[in-house]
Amino acid sequence: MQLSLNSQSSLPLVDQIVIGARNLIDDRVLRPGMRLPPIRTMASEHGVSRFTVVEAYDRLVALGYLQSRRGAGFYVAARQETPALMQRSGEIERAFDNAGVMHQSLETESGRLKVGVGWLPPEWMDEVGVQRNIRTLARRADTKVVSYGTAQGYRPLREQIQIKLGEIGIAAPAGQIVLTVGATQALDMIARYLLKAGDCVFVDDPGYWNLFANLRLYGVNLVGVPRTMDGPDVPALESLLAEHRPKAFFTHSVLHNPTAGNISAAVAFRILQLAEKHDFLIVEDDINADLYPVPTTRVAQLDQLRRVIYVGSFSKTLSANLRVGFLAASPDLAAALTDVKIVSCLSTSEFAERLVYLMLTEGHYRKFTERTQGRLADAITGTLRLLERSGLKIYAEPQGGMFVWAQAPGIADSVHLATQAAQSGILLAPGNIFRPQMQPSPWMRFNVAYALDPRLERFLGEALGR
Amino acid sequence: MQLSLNSQSSLPLVDQIVIGARNLIDDRVLRPGMRLPPIRTMASEHGVSRFTVVEAYDRLVALGYLQSRRGAGFYVAARQETPALMQRSGEIERAFDNAGVMHQSLETESGRLKVGVGWLPPEWMDEVGVQRNIRTLARRADTKVVSYGTAQGYRPLREQIQIKLGEIGIAAPAGQIVLTVGATQALDMIARYLLKAGDCVFVDDPGYWNLFANLRLYGVNLVGVPRTMDGPDVPALESLLAEHRPKAFFTHSVLHNPTAGNISAAVAFRILQLAEKHDFLIVEDDINADLYPVPTTRVAQLDQLRRVIYVGSFSKTLSANLRVGFLAASPDLAAALTDVKIVSCLSTSEFAERLVYLMLTEGHYRKFTERTQGRLADAITGTLRLLERSGLKIYAEPQGGMFVWAQAPGIADSVHLATQAAQSGILLAPGNIFRPQMQPSPWMRFNVAYALDPRLERFLGEALGR
C-alpha cells in the first residue's frame, strides 16, 4: 500500500496508517471490494509492528472504511448512501474525540457536579446586575436592536478594550480590535485565516482542548509544546523547531488552562525570539486576564501586535451567554480577519456589545472582578486543602483563576477515575483531553468554584481508598 | 513551469495560472529570485494566448508574488516579514473580491441611500416591540443571562421552529434543529463540515455572494448553475453534472436572492432526482420564508431532510442584531454540525434565542410579518413603476420579498453604473457580485424598501440620459 510513515512524527504510527488509508480510500485509489495487504506483509513492508497494523485496521473497520471478513482479511467497504457525508465522518470523529466533555458540560440538566467545566457557576456571576443593565439598555432610545452591527463590532466597546489593553501594556487602537462570538470564534477565525490542511501548528501541551478539536477539523498537524510552570518549555520548543515549521503557536499566557501557571517575562522574550527566527505567528489566548489582579507579562506586551494576535473575552467574568469576545492584531491582520468574520457570520450582536460596554463603563465590571478574585482565592485555598487531604499531588499552587491541576498517586491515566466519577454524577476533566493527541495523563483539572461541594471529597475518598 | 491548465474548467485560464503559480511559490517549488518562463514560452508551452499569460503575471505582481524587472522578465518576489500571513493574502483577496459591498452596507455612517443592501431599513422593523420584549425578558427570574447556552441552542425555540417548519410541510423534530449565529453561520458550518479544499460545489448563478466569498475561502471549486424564473435551470444542471462531481448544491428556493423567483414543484423534484443519481447534498437557503405568505414548494418539503439541509433565520423579519438563525438536517448531520458549532463558537446566545422565542409565541411575529408583507407588496409596485419609468427592463415581477432584479438597456456590465451611483451617494448592487466568478452582468438588484427615495429616480434619470 502506498503509504509514507514517519517514525519521528509526533503523530502515532497507528494514526498515520489510518489517515493514509482513509485518504487512499476517499481518493478512490483503493476502491470498494479491494483487499488490503495482510497484516504480516503490511508490517514488514513498512517496518512497523504487527500490533500497530492490527490497531490501525481495527480503527478503519470502526470508522466504516474497511470490512473484516473472517479468515479472509480486510477489504475496502462499500460506500454508504451519502458518501459526501461519510467521507468526512472519520475525520470529524477524530476531531471530536474529546468533545464529549463539552457536550456534558453544556447540558443544563443538573444534579451533576461539574468540577470539570471551564467556567464559574451561574450563582457566582452577577445575573441580577446583567439583567438590570439589559433593562437599562432596552429603555434607551438610541439602542439599536434590529439592524446588523458594523463589521468590526461596536466601536465604543472596542475603544473601551483599547483602554483595558493599554492598562496591561498592549497598545491596540480600536481599529485593530475585532469583536467576536466569544474567544472561541476569535481563535476559529484566526485558524481559518492562517492555516490550511497539512500545515503544522504548535499548541500548549496540556492546553485548551476545544481549540485542538477545531484545529484538527482544519486538517492541520498539531504539535504539543510541553508546558512548564513558567510557560512553554523553551528548550523543548527549540528542539521541536529543528523538526517542524509551524505557521503559528497558539498559547495561553496568564492563568494557563489547565495548569494555572503564568508565563515569565524571560520565557515570553525567548519565544518571541524563536518566532522571529523561525518565522511563525503567536496567537496569545488571554481569556483569564481579568481574573488575575497582579501585573504580569504577556507576549503581546513585548511584541505590540507585530507577530502576536491577542485574544480575550468577557465570557468568564461577565456573561458567557452574550458571547462577546475579541481579538487584537496588526492593522492588516485585523482587516483580513474582519473579512473572515463577514463571510462566516456577517456581524456580531451589537446589542450584546452595547451591554458589555455599559457594564464596563458604569463601574460594575471592575467591582465584580475584584470580588470574584477574592472569592476564587478562598476557593483555591479550600480546594488545595481538600485535594491534599485526599492524597492528590498539586502541580503548582495557583496565583488566581479557577483551576487547580493535580494528580492522584499511582494512577497513570486519570481517564478511569473520570469514568468512575461520571457514574457518581461528577464531571471530572481528565488530563488526556488537554493533550493534543489525547495521550494518557495522570493529571486532572479541578474547577475550584465547584470543588468544595462535599460530593467531590466523598468520591475521591472512596475512589482513592482513603 | 509545472502547471496543468484545463480549458474546459469553469475557472478562467488566467485564474488557473495565478492559482497554480501561487501554489508553486507558497510550496517553495519556485523560490524567491527565480525567473519565470518568458511570456512567449509560457504561452506556447501551455497552448494559451499571450494575453492570458500577461494578465496572469500582472495579477501575480499585484498580489506580491512576482516582481517585474524592466526588460528582464518576471521573478519570484522575496518574502515579506510575516510570510505565514502573506502566503494567504492572495487567496483572501480573491475570496473577498466582492466583499466591498458588504463593508459599505454594514457602515452605519448614513446619508447614503442603500438600495443595494439585502435587508429592510431599521424603521421598517419593530425596534420598539423588540425593546419591550427585551425588558420583559430581563425582568423574568428564570432568564439565564450569564451562563453558556446548550450546544444545540434553546430548546423551546427549536420546538417553535419545528412547528413553523411543520406548517410549510417539513417534518423537523427539535432534535434535528441547530440554532446558529444567523443563516450565514449555518451555511458556514455546513461548508466547513462537508467540504475540503479542491471539492466541487454547485451554487446558484446569480446567487448569495457572501456565501461565494466564504466558499472560495475554503478553497472549493464553485460552479454556477444558471437560475431561471422557476428555480435552477434543470437541463443546465444536467449538463454540468456530466462534467463535475459536486459534493453539494447550495440553492435558495423561495424569493430567491437576487432574482426574487420561487422554485416550482417540478424543478424541486427534478433536482432531488439528480441529487440522488449523482449523489450530492442540497443545502436549501430559505431565509425569506416569512416574507412570502403563499403556500409554495421547498426542496426539503419533498425530501424531508434526507438529502437536504434546510437553513433559515430571523434576521430579515425580527432582528439582524440578535443573530439568530438555524439549520435543520438529518439526525446524524444535526449531531455532527452541533460538534462543529461547539469547536467554532462553543454556543450561541441563549438570551437572544429566548427573545426570539418570546416574540414568536406572544403573537408579535405573525402580526409583524403580515404587515411587512403588505408594505413590501406596495413598495414592489412602486419600484416596478419607477424602474419602468427610468427605462429599465424587469427580470420578472416579484411575488413578494424585498428585491427587484432589473437591467438598463444597452449596458452590458452594471458595475460602471454602480460606480457612478456610489459617487452620488447611492449604494447599488451590480449583477457581477452575485455571480460565482464575478462575471460581468447587465443586471442589478434593487431593494424596494429603499428604492422609492427620490434620489434613486433622479440618479437613474441622469445616468441613463432620460
Q: Does residue A313 sit within a domain?
A: yes
pLDDT of residue B83 exceeding 80, the answer is: no
Q: Using the 8-state DSSP alphabet, how is residue B303 labeled?
A: H
The answer to whether B312 touches B160, Cβ cutoff 8 Å, is no
Q: Which residues of A touch B134 (CB under 8 A)?
A: 134-135, 137-138, 145, 351
Mutation for testing the B interface, residue in A321, A322, A330 having most B CBs under 10 Å = A321
Percent of chain B with pLDDT over 90: 62
Which residues are B248's β-sheet partners?
B201, B281
Q: Grid coordinates 441613463 are at which residue?
A: B464
| Three-class DSSP category at B163 | helix
In this structure, are A357 and A379 located in the same domain?
no
Evaluate whether A154 touches A284 at the Cβ level (below 8 Å).
no
Q: What is the pLDDT of residues B111-136, one digit of tens each?
A: 789 999 999 998 999 988 999 999 99
* Residue A257, phi then psi, degrees to nearest 5: -90, 115
Task: Please state, in angstroms and rounded to a whole number, the distance separating the CA atoms of residues A73 and B78.
Answer: 53
Taking the CA of residue A440 and the nearest CA in chain B, the distance in Å comes to 22
Query: What is the distance between the alpha carbons of residues A138 and B131, in angstroms, rounded to a whole number?
Result: 5
β pairing state of B248-252 and B200-205: parallel
* Same domain for A443 and A321: no
> What's residue A144's pLDDT?
80
Q: Which residue of A has its CA nearest to B194?
A: A85
Say if strands A248-252 and A281-285 run parallel, antiparallel, or are unpaired: parallel
Kindly report the nearest CA distance between residue B259 and chain A, in angstroms: 21
Of the pLDDT bands very low, low, confident and very high (cuts 50, 70, 90), residue B271 is very high
- Length of chain A, in residues: 466
- A159 domain residue, yes or no: yes
Above 50 in pLDDT, residue B81?
Answer: no
**Burial class for A84, CB neighbours closer than 10 Å (0-12, 13-18, 19+):** middle
- For residue A55, the domain's CATH number is 1.10.10.10
**Among all residues of chain A, which has the CA nearest to that of B215?**
A343
Give the integer Cα–Cα distance in Å for B79 and B82. 8
Tell me how many domains chain A contains: 3
Same domain, A96 and A72: no
What does the alpha-carbon distance between residue A294 and residue A312 come to, in Å, rounded to a whole number?
17
φ, ψ for residue B320, nearest 5 deg: -80, -20
Q: Quick check: B433 and B416 in contact, CB under 8 A?
A: no
Q: Is residue A3 in some structural domain?
A: no
- Find the residue in A nearest to B92 (Cα): A336
Q: How far apart are CA A367 and CA A357, in angstroms?
A: 15
Residue B89 sits at the chain A interface (C-beta within 8 Å): yes
Instruction: Identify whether residues A292 and A382 lie together within a single domain.
Output: no
Nearest chain A Cα to B122, which residue?
A: A147
Q: Does residue B2 fall inside a structural domain?
A: no
Let me know whether A67 and A134 are in one domain: no
* Mean pLDDT score across all residues of chain B: 89
Same domain, A243 and A100: no
Cβ atoms A147, A298 nearer than 8 A = no
Would you place residue B86 in the very low, low, confident or very high pLDDT band (cuts 50, 70, 90)?
very low
The three cell numbers of residue A450 are: 465547584
Q: What is the mean pLDDT of residues B57-84?
A: 73
Q: Give residue B62's Cα distance to chain centre.
A: 27
Same-domain check for residues B201 and B291: yes
Average pLDDT of span B22-35 = 78
pLDDT digits (tens, 9 = 90+) for B299-320: 999 999 999 999 999 999 999 8
Judged against a pLDDT cut of 50, whether residue B92 lies above it is answered with no
CATH code assigned at B397: 3.90.1150.10
Give CA–CA dist B118/B258, Å, rounded: 9
Residue A54: which H helix or E strand, with range? helix A50-62
A400 touches A373 (CB < 8 A): yes
3-state secondary structure (DSSP) of residue B443: strand
A6, part of any domain = no
Cross-strand partners of A405: A445
Residues B286 and B373 in one domain: no
The CA distance from B179 to B324, in Å, is 7
The pLDDT score that the predictor gives to residue A267 is 97
CA distance A450 to A123: 11
pLDDT at B88: 41
Residues A105, A90, single domain; the answer is yes
Cβ-Cβ contacts under 8 Å, A279 against chain B: 82-84
CA separation for the pair A327, A190 (Å, rounded): 9
Collapsing DSSP states into helix, strand and coil, what is residue B242? helix
Is residue B57, in this structure, part of any structural domain at all? yes
Q: The C-alpha cell of A51 is what?
A: 500490533
In this structure, what CATH number is given to the domain that contains residue B200?
Answer: 3.40.640.10
Query: What is the pairing mode between strands B248-252 and A443-447?
Result: unpaired
Query: Are the CB atoms for B159 and B354 separated by under 8 Å?
Result: no
Q: Which one of A344-353, B9-18, B81-90, B186-195 scores highest in mean pLDDT?
A: B186-195
Distance CA A444, CA A425 (A): 17
Least confident of A4-18, A373-387, B268-282, B392-406: A4-18
> Would you state the cell numbers that stand for residue A247, as one nine-digit string?
505557521
Do the strands B73-76 and B66-69 form a parallel or antiparallel pair, or are they unpaired? antiparallel
* CA A11/CA A223 separation, integer angstroms: 8
- The confidence score (pLDDT) of residue A102 equals 65
- Cis? peptide before B295, omega within 30° of 0: no
Residues 93-112, chain A, touching B (beta carbon < 8 A):
95-96, 99, 102-103, 106-108
Instruction: Indicate the pLDDT class of residue B80, thresholds 50, 70 and 90.
Output: very low
Say if A78 is an interface residue toward chain B (CB within 8 Å): no
Mean pLDDT of B372-394: 96
Say how many CA atoms lie within 13 Å of B412 toward its Cβ. 2
- The predicted pLDDT at position A108 comes to 57
| A148 & A46 share domain | no
Average pLDDT, 10 consecutive residues per value, chain A (466 residues):
74 80 75 87 90 86 80 78 38 50 62 89 90 90 83 93 93 95 96 93 96 92 96 97 97 97 97 97 96 92 96 93 95 93 91 93 86 96 97 96 95 90 90 91 96 96 86
Q: What is the C-alpha R_g of chain B?
A: 24
What does DSSP assign to residue A30? S
* A109, closest residue in chain B (CA to CA): B150
Instruction: List, as ranges, residues 226-265 from B with C-beta within 8 Å of A.
Output: 247-248
A323 and A186: one domain? yes
The answer to whether A196 touches A217, Cβ cutoff 8 Å, is: no
Structural domain ending residue among the three candidates A333, A361, A389: A361
| Predicted pLDDT at B154 | 94
DSSP per-residue letters across A108-168 = ---SSB-TT-SS--GGGS-HHHHHHHHHHHHH-TT---SS---SS--HHHHHHHHHHHHHT
The DSSP element (H or E) to which B202 belongs, if any, is strand B200-205
ipTM (interface predicted TM): 0.77
What's the CA gap between B179 and B293, in Å, rounded?
A: 24
Domain range for A444 is 85-124+367-464
A206 sits in which H/E element:
none
Q: Which residues contact B41 (CB under 8 A, 6 or more apart)?
A: none
Is A1 part of a structural domain of the chain? no
Question: Is B212 found in the same domain as B104?
Answer: no
**Which of the two residues, A73 and B185, has the higher pLDDT score?**
B185
Please compute Rg for chain A using Cα positions: 24
- Alpha-carbon distance A102 to A96, whole Å? 10
Nearest to A134 by CA among B336, B65, B133, B255: B133
At residue B17 the predicted structure's pLDDT band, cuts being 50, 70 and 90, is confident
Per-residue pLDDT of B213-255, as tens digits, reads 999 999 999 999 999 999 999 999 999 999 999 999 999 999 9
Q: Is B128 on the interface with A (CB under 8 A)?
A: no
